[in-house]
């Protein structure tokens, strides 16, 4: 079946502009995660959605970052007034539940802020 | 706070030989999961192997096996008969039930020499 799909694959934007990143999880997966990965570094947790529960936003680095998800479908990560420090790969992952089920990742969106 | 440490930023191995990637973690929990994920240049994170802490038997997936030392809080990944396609970043991750978070190591870059 289809895996996790992210779009766009690459995004170049000017400092100060807003960007929206999209994630289509695997159908039936109730859990959805957003991570940020700076060049040569590990994964930095941003936000987590589980079904219709309130999201875990504890990883969002500032109020410029927000994310939405409707039910168990598509999620969008929005970064407002982008800064050069926001340049990174943004990875989305989904899993069957919030337990120990393995995460299935998309190919990520490489964001470059000029 | 729980942490995951991968002390080898980069490792190289000759094709067909065996290599071991190290991972240590810090926790006061007794029940948890440990994962190794692989990230090739395509950026997509792929699950390599998973270990349940309450199982003493080391997990194995074809050429990939782990050496899980619970008392030492060590979780190393052994890759046998290394292949060119194994070249990637390898991330160790720890899942804890207390806050349902997946904690990631910084990664090890594995280079396969032909």
Mean pLDDT of all residues in chain B?
Answer: 92
A71 versus A20: the higher-pLDDT residue is A20
Structure tokens at A63: 């109020």
Asked whether the predicted pLDDT for residue B100 surpasses 80, the reply is: no
* Chain A residues lying within 8 Å of B106, measured CB to CB: 41-42
Report the residue of chain B nearest A50, measured CA to CA.
B100
Record: contact B91-A106, CB cut-off 8 A = no
Reported as a single tens digit per residue, the pLDDT across B13-65 is: 999 999 999 999 998 888 889 999 999 988 888 999 999 888 888 999 999 99
pLDDT tier, B72 (very low <50, low <70, confident <90, very high otherwise): very high
How many Cα neighbours within 13 Å face the side chain of A32? 32
Record: contact A107-B43, CB cut-off 8 A = yes
Q: Who among A42, A45, A107 is closest to B101 (CB)?
A: A45
Residues 6+ apart with CB under 8 A from B47: A102, A103, A104, B35, B36, B37
Reported as a single tens digit per residue, the pLDDT across A6-17 is: 999 999 999 999
What Rg value do the Cα atoms of chain B yield, rounded?
14
pLDDT at B42: 82
Q: What is the mean pLDDT of residues B100-108?
A: 87
Min Cα separation A12/chain B (Å)? 17
Cα–Cα distance between B31 and B29 in angstroms, integer? 6
Q: What is the mean pLDDT of residues B75-103?
A: 90
Record: contact B44-A41, CB cut-off 8 A = no
Reported as a single tens digit per residue, the pLDDT across A58-111 is: 999 999 999 999 878 899 999 999 999 999 999 999 998 766 788 899 999 999
């Amino acid at each position: 079946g289809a895996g996790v799909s992210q779009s766009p694959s690459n995004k170049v934007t000017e400092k100060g502009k807003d960007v929206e990143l999209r994630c289509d999880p695997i159908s039936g997966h109730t859990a959805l995660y957003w991570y940020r990965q700076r060049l040569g570094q590990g994964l930095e947790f941003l936000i987590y959605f589980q079904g219709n529960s309130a999201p875990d936003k504890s990883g969002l680095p500032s109020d410029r970052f927000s994310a939405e998800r409707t039910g168990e479908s598509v999620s969008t990560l929005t970064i407002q007034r982008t800064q050069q420090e926001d340049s990174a790969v943004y990875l989305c992952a989904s899993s069957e539940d919030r337990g120990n089920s393995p995460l299935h990742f998309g190919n990520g969106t490489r964001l470059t802020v000029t | 706070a729980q942490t995951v440490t991968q002390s080898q930023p980069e490792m190289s191995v000759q094709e067909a030989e065996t290599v071991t990637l190290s991972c240590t973690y810090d926790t006061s929990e007794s029940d948890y999961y440990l994962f190794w994920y692989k990230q090739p240049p395509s950026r997509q994170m792929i699950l390599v192997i998973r270990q349940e802490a309450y199982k003493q038997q080391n997990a194995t997936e074809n050429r990939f096996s782990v050496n899980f030392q619970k008392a030492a809080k060590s979780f190393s990944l052994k890759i046998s008969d290394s292949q060119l396609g194994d070249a990637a970043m390898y991330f160790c991750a720890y899942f804890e039930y207390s806050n349902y978070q997946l904690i990631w190591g910084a990664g090890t870059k594995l280079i396969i020499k032909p």
